[in-house]
Amino acid sequence: MADKVENRIEELREKIRENDYKYYVLAEPSISDEEYDKLIKDLEKLEVENPQLVTPDSPTQRVGKDLTKDFKPVVHKVPMLSLANTYNEEELFDFDRRVHSGLPEGEKVEYVVEPKIDGASVSLNYVNGYLKTAATRGDGIVGEEITINVKTIKAVPLRLKNLKSNKYKLKDFEARGEIFMNVKDFLKLNKEREEQGEKLFANPRNSSAGTLKLQDPKIVAKRPLDIFLYMLVSTEEEFESQYENLKILKELGFKVNPEYILCKSIDEVLAACRKLEEKRESLEYEIDGAVIKVNSIRQQKILGSIAKAPRWAVAFKFKAKQAFTTLNKITWQVGRTGSVTPVAELEPVFLSGSTISRATLHNYDEIKRKDIREKDRVVIEKGGDVIPKVVAVVINERPKNSKPARPPDNCPVCSTPLYKPENEVAYYCENSECPAQIKGRLEHFAARGAMDIDGLGEALIDLFVEKGFLHTYADIYDLKERRDELIAIERLGEKSVYNLLRSIEESKRQPFEKALFAIGIRYVGAGAARKLADHFLSIDNLMKASEEEISKVHEIGPSISSSVKEFFSTEKNLKIIKRLIDHGLNFKTEKKAAVNSFFTGKTFVLTGTLANFSREEAAEKIMSLGGNVSSSVSKKTDYVLAGESAGSKLDKAKSLGVTILTEDEFLKQLNEN
Nearer to ligand IVH, 113 or 619 (CB): 113
Task: Tell me which stretch binds ligand IVH (CB under 6 A): 308-316, 387-395, 420-428, 576-584.
Answer: 308-316
**Angle subtended by helix axes 89-101 and 266-279, to nearest 10:** 140
Burial class (CB in 10 A: 0-12, 13-18, 19+), 373: middle
Please give the Cα distance from 168 to 184 (Å, whole number): 38
Using Cβ positions, the residue closest to ligand IVH within the complex turns out to be: 121
Pick 137 or 389: Cβ nearer ligand IVH: 137
In contact, 82 and 76? CB cutoff 8 Å: no
For the bound state, the minimum distance from the C-beta of residue 113 to ligand IVH, rounded and expressed in Å, comes to: 9
Query: Residue 312: which of 259, 242, 246, 265 has the closest Cα?
Result: 242
Buried b (16+ CB within 10 A) or exposed e, 43-57: beebbeeeeeeeeeb
CA angle, residues 148, 153, 158, in degrees to nearest 5: 70
Give the whole-angstrom CA distance, residue 458 versus residue 439.
Answer: 8
Residue 518 CB, shortest distance to ligand IVH, in Å, is 29
Q: How far is the CB of 206 from ligand IVH (least distance, A)?
A: 14
Interface residues for ligand IVH in 197-236 (CB under 6 A)?
A: 230-231
Q: Which is nearer to ligand IVH, 96 or 288 (CB)?
A: 288
Nearest to 167 by CA among 251, 256, 254: 251
Q: Find the part of the chain contacting ligand IVH (CB under 6 A) among 79-87, 150-158, 243-251, 602-610.
A: 79-87
Instruction: Please tell me what DSSP assigns to residue 53.
Output: G
* Minimum CB–partner distance for residue 424 and ligand IVH (Å): 33
Among 9, 43, 81, 518, which residue interacts with ligand IVH (rule: CB under 6 A)?
81
Query: Minimum distance between the CB of residue 116 and ligand IVH, rounded to whole angstroms?
Result: 4
Half-sphere exposure of 454 (CA within 13 A, CB side): 15
| 177, 229 contact by CB (below 8 A) | yes
Indicate the DSSP class of residue 22: I
Q: Which is nearer to ligand IVH, 180 or 536 (CB)?
A: 180
Complex with ligand IVH: residue 217 or 310, whichever CB lies closer:
310
Least Å distance between CB 135 and ligand IVH?
Answer: 13
Helix H or strand E encompassing 484: helix 483-488
Nearer residue to ligand IVH within complex by CB, 83 or 470: 83
Could you tell me which stretch among 6-14, 34-42, 111-119, 246-254 binds ligand IVH (CB under 6 A)? 111-119
Quick check: 20 binds ligand IVH (CB under 6 A)?
A: no
Considering the complex, what minimum distance in angstroms separates the CB of residue 618 from ligand IVH? 19
Compare residues 318 and 568 and give the one whose CB is closer to ligand IVH.
318
83 binds ligand IVH (CB under 6 A): yes
Ramachandran quadrant class, 204 (left: phi over 0; alpha: psi -120 to 50; beta: rest): alpha
291/653 with CB nearer ligand IVH = 291
DSSP 86: E
286 lies in the binding site for ligand IVH (CB under 6 A): no
Beta carbons of 639 and 661 less than 8 angstroms apart: yes
Contacts of 57-61 with CB under 8 Å at 24 or more apart are 57/130, 57/131, 57/158, 57/159, 58/13, 58/158, 59/13, 59/16, 59/17, 59/20, 59/158, 61/151, 61/158
Tell which residue, 102, 114, 254, 121, has the closest CA to residue 176: 121
Which helix (H) or strand (E) element contains residue 172? strand 172-181
With CB under 6 A as the contact rule, the residue among 13, 17, 62, 116 that binds ligand IVH is: 116
Stretch that binds ligand IVH, among 92-100, 166-174, 198-206, 309-317 (CB under 6 A): 309-317
Write the binding mask 149 to 188 for ligand IVH: x where contact by CB under 6 A, - elsewhere. Answer: -----------------------------x----------
Nearest approach in angstroms of CB 225 to ligand IVH is 15
> In this structure, are strands 142-144 and 130-136 parallel, antiparallel, or unpaired?
unpaired
Report the SS3 class of residue 146. Answer: coil
Nearest approach in angstroms of CB 296 to ligand IVH is 15
Q: What angle do CA 257, 120, 343 make, to 5 degrees?
A: 115
Residue from 142, 148, 248, 313 in contact with ligand IVH (CB under 6 A):
313
Binding region for ligand IVH (CB under 6 A) out of 45-53, 307-315, 423-431, 663-671 = 307-315
| Cβ-contact 402, 394 below 8 angstroms | no
647 CB neighbour count, 10 Å cutoff: 10
Residue 288 Cα to chain centre, angstroms: 16
Longest dimension (CA), the chain: 89
Residue from 58, 68, 121, 203 in contact with ligand IVH (CB under 6 A): 121
CB-based contact 603:636 (threshold 8 Å)? yes
Touching ligand IVH, residues 459-518 (CB under 6 A): none
Q: Of 36-44, 76-84, 265-273, 637-645, which segment contacts ligand IVH by CB under 6 A?
A: 76-84
Stretch in the footprint of ligand IVH (CB under 6 A) among 110-118, 271-279, 513-521, 542-550: 110-118
Instruction: Give how many residues touch ligand IVH by CB under 6 A.
Output: 15
Residue 114 interacts with ligand IVH (CB under 6 A): yes or no: yes
| 117 interacts with ligand IVH by CB under 6 A | yes
CB 266 within 8 A of CB 92: yes
Residue (81 or 576) nearer to ligand IVH, CB: 81
Q: Answer yes or no whether residue 310 interacts with ligand IVH by CB under 6 A.
A: yes
Pick the catalytic residue: 45, 116, 184, 375? 116
Question: Contact, 208 vs 236, CB < 8 A?
Answer: no
116 catalytic, yes or no?
yes
**Closer to ligand IVH at the Cβ: 231 or 327?**
231
Nearer to ligand IVH (CB atom), residue 75 or residue 463:
75
Instruction: Tell me the HSE value of 179 on the side-chain side, using a 13 A CA sphere.
Output: 32
Write down the least CB distance from residue 270 to ligand IVH, Å.
17
- Pick between residue 81 and residue 545 the one whose CB is nearest to ligand IVH: 81
Could you tell me if 82 and 143 are in contact, meaning their C-beta atoms sit under 8 angstroms apart? no
**Of the listed pieces 75-83, 345-353, 364-372, 529-537, which binds ligand IVH according to CB under 6 A?**
75-83
CA dihedral 27, 33, 38, 39 (to 10 degrees): 0
> Where on the chain is the footprint of ligand IVH (CB under 6 A)?
81-83, 114, 116-117, 121, 137, 178, 230-231, 291, 310, 313, 315
Q: Show which residues are catalytic.
A: 116
